[in-house]
Amino acid sequence: MFRTHSCGELSVAHLNQKVTLAGWVQTIRKFGAITFVDLRDRYGITQLVIGDEINNHLDNNPLGREFVIQAFGFVRERSNKNKNIPTGDIEVNLESYIVLNSAAVPPFTIQDDTDGGDDLRMKYRYLDLRRSCIKNNLLLRYAVTRSVRNFLHEQQFIDIETPFLIKSTPEGARDFVVPSRMNPHEFYALPQSPQTFKQLLMVSGYDRYYQIVKCFRDEDLRSDRQPEFTQIDCEMSFVQQEDILDTFERLVKCVFKEVINIDLKEPFERMSWEDAMWYYGNDKPDTRFAMPITNLKVPTWIFKNKQTLIPKTCVLENGFPVFDQAETILAITIPNASEYSRKQLDELTEWVKRPQIGMNGMAYIKYQKDGNCKSSFDKFYNADNIMGIASACSAKPDDLILILVGKEEKTRKAMSELRLDINARMGNRKKNEYKVLWILDFPLFEYSEDENRWIAKHHPFTAPHPHDIDTMLNNKPAIDNPHEYLKHPYCNLKANAYDMVLNGNEIGGGSIRIHKKELQEKMFESLGISEDEQKKQFGFLLNAFEYGAPPHGGIAFGLDRLCALLGGSESIRDFIAFPKNNAGRDTMLNSPDFLEVKQLSELNIELKK
Amino acid sequence: MFRTHSCGELSVAHLNQKVTLAGWVQTIRKFGAITFVDLRDRYGITQLVIGDEINNHLDNNPLGREFVIQAFGFVRERSNKNKNIPTGDIEVNLESYIVLNSAAVPPFTIQDDTDGGDDLRMKYRYLDLRRSCIKNNLLLRYAVTRSVRNFLHEQQFIDIETPFLIKSTPEGARDFVVPSRMNPHEFYALPQSPQTFKQLLMVSGYDRYYQIVKCFRDEDLRSDRQPEFTQIDCEMSFVQQEDILDTFERLVKCVFKEVINIDLKEPFERMSWEDAMWYYGNDKPDTRFAMPITNLKVPTWIFKNKQTLIPKTCVLENGFPVFDQAETILAITIPNASEYSRKQLDELTEWVKRPQIGMNGMAYIKYQKDGNCKSSFDKFYNADNIMGIASACSAKPDDLILILVGKEEKTRKAMSELRLDINARMGNRKKNEYKVLWILDFPLFEYSEDENRWIAKHHPFTAPHPHDIDTMLNNKPAIDNPHEYLKHPYCNLKANAYDMVLNGNEIGGGSIRIHKKELQEKMFESLGISEDEQKKQFGFLLNAFEYGAPPHGGIAFGLDRLCALLGGSESIRDFIAFPKNNAGRDTMLNSPDFLEVKQLSELNIELKK
């Protein structure tokens, strides 16, 4: 060992002890004949004091930032204590030192508020990882996985590794593939998730499985998506939805408590998918603040499910073409904002007109303090009409109502974004506030206009709600008339699925799975997968269901995202040791890269010209 | 939940309780009006008793093996207790049951002594995994990883994930590669190990890293090799070899104690690589038994290292051409075997003549009980000569000496195999006996005749022994005269490396790493990697060493092998949930498989005709 103690552990309990430390030179401060060096390692920082003799030597052999040294000396009490660090009561009076390695001047400062830009930090990721903010992120990540493993162990889950070189399946996202040299012209695929394997493990009787595992998706990367990402992947047998919700609600509470000392005491809110879409415009609402969306015109999609309440008040058709012709009219109410200036409103209007949002404009109603309303469409409606709208929006005097208009899906999305943006501006998206909820009752299928067929909303292994199984089995999936797809009974099928949402981010999702062969075959058929294709792609699973498959279900959490949110960040990249950029490149390694011709040849592949 | 209890937990403490169990029908035994069903789940087996009423129902709706049922009933004491299982004191008197899923007759019996052959078991792996012997292997594997994680956590190691989509490097074994769709004609590689990443983490100051991680090697598979395998991968900063040996000796002791309750009390034996090759013929000796090899002729390789002792006695050149012309003559002494019959000796001779061993024959000396020797080469040597050989072999009366002759490397290998085979026959390779040792002082380089260059014995990041660094830096690696390569100073360089060997299997290996740029460059140069190539392939590491790299070292254990050995098996396949066969195929999935043309096209590759 190059050290007797770490740089984070010495205190007055060690006074006068001879110690050896090893670490990196963080700072060097020279005061005449005395030099102070802050020595850093993973565990902390200790101040070294260099007196006369060595100081002279230092003049000729200067230490630099990030030099790695071994320091020998005695612990003594500081006259000027630093209460901000655990070792702040002491310092080490240096007797001698050895330079273990020198260091060139780093391309950016190794500090939380570094002067390095993203590209530079990625290229020199090994230096970026020295910054204590990033180090703390990776330590938090480790604390999360440790907490998860301990919790799941207590619940009798066992960690079982599933293979990485598996089979490509055309359903779902694009696979990364791996040419097989030993089986010419054949390819493995990297798993998008261990879904079918964990189901097989349930068929095998393992009862409770988990794995913290890398998954791969060859998608066009949006910012903050990675081609490889990590899942906390879990599956349980002999359970119903309620058992899964209970188990994993406790898991998440345990992680919050152990890792960031937050008590999530209340049971997690539960919201149907319909309600989430209705009131928040998306299926992962940020519920740290309310500000629900009011639908001012009955949107088409509510016909899909008869149980959804139709809003009490709608905008009257009154000769205002923007409203009259709109498929959807959505409003949110901003409290105490009736005095927004023209400029503020223009800014918001510009914001919703950006290409990313894509609205044509924004209408508003100012419900003034004096109880009167002023709107951007006063000439089309009388005061009562407008007050009616304001009241439909549950507005009070001094509130501002913002209204977006357009195609249903786009407008819902725009309103959801506007709601988030405004609340961010209002300071309502607080880093240290956590609101977790379950989204339930997803539709089982989505309709694909392009292909005139059903697509699994979750994935093809998700079971329908128990009361919907018969409807699924007893109806043909074919959609005879694409214009009337909404009348197809499959539109009303609900999935036995659940998502966990934290502060507007989906952090986990899962479902009760199909465990009967007939139902799984019906599901594949519903998705337009021919019998031949079913056998070829999923024959192993259908076979497995013939030999005694238990009822089972599971969930997977996105570890990268969960860690980022626990760390108070929206960016996953700084919670991954070696992330890739938006082009899927590792700029430090310069990867991917071209292969040697010999390698391609051995793999029996060629580059397409 | 479909159950109130598992099938492994009921006891007399639960008498008269109403319980619900769920699981698989293991056996059905009918005795007149009563039927006994053994219900199985991961946790155990519980006997269900089915009386009159339900029995009649059963006649018309027979249960079959591996049916999944939910059983409702009362716990009662058995009249006929089964002391072999934890639930053997009780049974559940069935009130009703539900068939959750039926099961076709399995293609092989779900029992430890199954009638299923390897191919069938692999195709129906989900059924094979139900057998309790395989289940116990996977539970053992989980116990090992849990024990490892807990130990390393206590030692302040942190688990940090490294990427799977990395860069291909031509040095070393063949990579699996992954075409990048977003970067046409470029490829990622799957990691053979996280070696350079863990070193970067040391440069970043993480101090103690570990990961239980999948690694990939595209090699022609020998039996019991897998294209994907799992490593316990560790790295520490500010350590010397002794610190690593100490830490990981404690880790392995902890795992043995916690997982199979074996106290490995003694410090692990340490053996130099030279001694291992000298006395056991290979670098991973099985030392559960002694039977060291005696070199009866000075082999050429001892010149490589002057510190090796030359054996005291050699065979005299005496006109026996087989001995006189031999490069190497090796002997082992089998105690109390002087009365082996002609037939037994012939069998052994045939064994060494098999193509896998490849010897031309075998000589022997019977050191008879009466103190006289009889050998297969009596006509060339007198009694004193032969007694001289026997004494060099430390033989005693009633011992049998077996002698192999030939080219050094081949003979050493053959003798090592013979030693193992004989001791297996003698019952000396006991499953439940564990002998762990460290092999130290490996050569840094091997000489490649084909390429007339040096090859890293361990890998290019392994540091030379501290006292050999100057020799390495101050000599040119070029070998001017291939016939005299043994005179090159690089032949004597030792690596600062170590292997951990358990019962004749390498279970772990590692080294102190190079942490200075000049030495790493010299190493690359020594391996014939040009400066351009160094920059292209390893530039990130050489750069990292410029910014304050600490002294560091590490080790990696092969988890699959370690688990197999702890489980008393030599075969890793049954300790992996979903292994591949010797052609690298998963016969259950039928993977690898052909891709769709569209996929290839998107990846900008074509199949070579």
A43 to chain B, minimum CA–CA distance in Å? Answer: 9
Instruction: Tell me what pLDDT residue A52 has.
Output: 81
Residues A88 and A57 grouped into a single domain: yes
Structure tokens at A172: 């779902």
Q: Answer yes or no: is pLDDT of B300 > 70.
A: no
Q: Does any CB of chain A come closer than 8 Å to the CB of residue B601?
A: yes
- Which chain B residue has the Cα nearest residue A514? B101
Contacts A153 to B, Cβ<8 Å: 146
A485 and A424, same domain (yes or no): no
Same domain, A409 and A452: no
B179, B545, B594 ranked by CB distance to A185: nearest: B594
Q: Is A100–B2 a contact, with Cβ atoms under 8 angstroms apart?
A: no
Which residues on chain B are in Cβ contact (under 8 Å) with A607?
Answer: 185, 604-606
Residue B68 in any domain: the answer is: yes
Residues B246, B263: Cα–Cα separation, whole Å: 16
Final residue of a structural domain among B372, B400, B429: B429
Residue B586 contacts residue B580 (beta carbons within 8 Å)? yes
> Coil, helix or strand for A458?
coil
> Do A391 and A482 have their domain in common?
no
At A401 the three-state DSSP class reads strand
Chain A residues with beta carbon closer than 8 angstroms to that of B145: 159
- Asked if B68's CB is within 8 angstroms of A594's CB, the reply is no
Q: How do residues B389-440 score in pLDDT, each as one tens digit?
A: 898 899 999 999 999 999 988 999 999 999 999 999 999 999 889 999 999 9
3-state class (DSSP) for residue B321:
helix
Q: Decide if A180 and B592 are in contact by the 8 Å CB cutoff.
A: yes
Q: Are residues A425 and A448 in the same domain?
A: no
Q: In what order do the strands lie in the sheet with A497-502?
A: A158-159, A208-216, A228-237, A552-558, A505-512, A497-502, A436-440, A269-272
Residue A567 lies in a domain: no
Own/partner long-range contacts of A468-473 (Cβ < 8 Å, ≥24 apart): A468/A444, A468/A492, A468/A493, A468/A494, A469/A519, A472/A444, A472/A519, A472/A522, A472/A523, A472/A526, A473/A518, A473/A519, A473/A522
The pLDDT, as a whole number, for residue A384 is 85
Mutation target to probe the B interface, by most B beta carbons within 10 A, among A37, A144, A160, A165 is A165
Which CATH number covers residue B367?
3.30.1360.30
In total, chain A counts a number of residues equal to 609
Tell me which residue in A2, A188, A238 faces B591 most closely, judged by beta carbons.
A188
- Interface test mutation site (partner A, options B109, B128, B591, max chain A beta carbons within 10 A): B591
Contact A163 B40 (CB under 8 A): no
CA distance A260 to chain B (A): 18
Q: What is the secondary structure of A81-96 as a DSSP string?
A: --TTSTTTTEEEEEEE
Does the model's ipTM exceed the 0.85 cut? yes
pLDDT value, residue B307: 45
Q: What is the pLDDT at residue B181? A: 95
Q: What does the alpha-carbon distance between residue B250 and residue B244 come to, in Å, rounded to a whole number?
A: 10
Residues A393 and A475 in one domain: no
Contact call for residues B194 and B211 (beta carbons, < 8 A): yes
Phi, psi of A371 (to 5 degrees): 95, -5
Search chain B and give the residue with CA nearest A44.
Answer: B205
pLDDT (mean) for B158-163: 98
Q: Is residue B198 part of a domain?
A: no
B206 touches chain A (CB under 8 A): yes
Q: What are phi and psi of A406, to 5 degrees?
A: 155, -160
Same domain, B421 and B464: no
Cβ–Cβ gap B551/A592 under 8 Å: no
Of B410, B334, B327, B326, give the one whose Cα is nearest residue B365: B334
- Yes or no, beta carbons of A230 and B126 under 8 Å apart: no
Burial letters for A15-29: b for 16+ Cβ neighbours within 10 Å, e otherwise? eeeebbbbbbbbebe
The confidence score (pLDDT) of residue B171 equals 72
Residues A463, A363: one domain?
Answer: no
- Write down the pLDDT at residue A19: 98
B243-271: per-residue pLDDT in tens?
A: 999 999 999 999 999 999 999 989 999 99
By DSSP bridging, strand A44-50 and strand A90-101 are parallel
Answer yes or no: is A598 within a domain. Answer: no
What's this model's pTM, rounded to 2 decimal places? 0.94
Supply the mean pLDDT for chain A. Answer: 93
Instruction: Please say if the pLDDT value at position A271 is more than 90.
Output: yes
Cα separation of A605 and A602, whole Å? 8
pLDDT at A307: 45
Q: Which of residues 504-523 of B touch A (CB under 8 A)?
A: 515-516
Length of chain B measured in residues: 609
Look at residue A132 in the predicted model and tell me its pLDDT: 93
Which runs of E-coded beta strand occur in A335-416?
A: 363-367, 373-375, 399-406
Residue A587, domain member (yes or no): no
Q: Taking CB atoms and an 8 Å limit, are B583 and A127 in contact across chains?
A: no
The H-assigned helical ranges of A426-530 are 469-473, 517-526
Minimal C-alpha gap between A270 and chain B (Å): 20
Q: What is the pLDDT of residue B316?
A: 62
| Per-residue confidence (pLDDT) for residue A301, from 0 to 100 | 38
Biggest distance spanned by C-alpha atoms of chain A: 93
Question: Are A294 and A416 members of one domain?
Answer: yes
Q: Are residues B322 and B366 in the same domain?
A: yes
Q: Which domain holds residue B521?
A: 443-494+516-549
Q: What is the mean pLDDT of residues A553-575?
A: 95
In Å, how far is A324's CA from the nearest CA of chain B? Answer: 45
Q: Which CATH number belongs to the domain containing residue B75 in this structure? A: 2.40.50.140
| Rounded mean pLDDT, B29-58 | 91
Looking at residue A318, its pLDDT comes to 66
Please indicate whether, in this complex, the C-beta atoms of B190 and A164 are within 8 angstroms of each other. Answer: yes
Q: Note whether residue B333 is domain-resident.
A: yes
* B228/A163 CB distance under 8 A: yes
Q: How many other CB atoms sit within 10 Å of the CB of residue B497?
A: 28
The C-alpha atoms of residue B372 and residue B383 are separated, in whole angstroms, by 8
Q: Can you tell me which residue has the tokens 């068929």?
A: A203
Structure-token pair, residue B508: 């772990």
Q: What is the pLDDT of residues A279-338, one digit of tens each?
A: 999 999 999 999 999 988 864 333 334 444 444 445 666 678 888 888 889 999 999 999
Pair (B464, B530) in one structural domain: yes
**Residue A541: strand, helix, or coil:** helix
Q: Does B181 touch chain A (CB under 8 A)?
A: yes
Comparing B138-152, B445-459, B537-551, which segment has the lowest mean pLDDT? B445-459
Six token digits for residue B49: 């008793």
Residues 6+ apart with CB under 8 A from A220: B182
Question: Which residues of chain B neighbour A220 with C-beta distances below 8 Å?
Answer: 182
Instruction: Using the 3D structure, point to which of A45, A79, A101 is the last residue of a domain.
Output: A101
**What is d(CA B542, CA B524) in angstroms, rounded to the nearest whole number?**
11
Residue type present at position B250:
R
One-letter amino acid at A256 equals: F
Please tell me the total count of domains within chain A: 3
- pLDDT above 50 (res B55): yes
Cβ-nearest to B577 among A161, A170, A178: A161
Let me know the angle formed at the C-alpha of B411 by B406 and B414, rounded to the nearest 5 degrees.
140
CA distance B125 to chain A (A): 9
CA A402 to CA A333: how far, in whole Å?
Answer: 6
- Quick check: is B308 in a domain? yes
pLDDT at residue B588 greater than cutoff 70: yes
Instruction: Using alpha carbons only, give the angle A385, A391, A393 rounded to the nearest 5 degrees.
Output: 110
Distance from the B438 Cα atom to the nearest Cα atom in chain A, whole angstroms: 19
**Cβ–Cβ contacts within 10 Å for residue A13, how many?**
10
Cα A249 to Cα A268: distance, rounded to the nearest angstrom: 7
Q: What is the pLDDT of residues B464-515, one digit of tens each?
A: 999 999 999 999 999 999 988 989 999 999 999 999 999 999 999 999 999 9
Burial B90-112 (b: 16+ CB within 10 A, else e): bbbebeebeebbbbeebebebee
A489 and A390 part of one domain: no
* Tens-place pLDDT, residues A367-398: 999 999 999 988 888 888 888 889 889 999 99
Exposure of A288 by Cβ count < 10 A (0-12 exposed, 13-18 middle, 19+ buried)?
middle
Residue A589 lies in a domain: no
- Boundary of a domain, candidates B387, B402, B429: B429
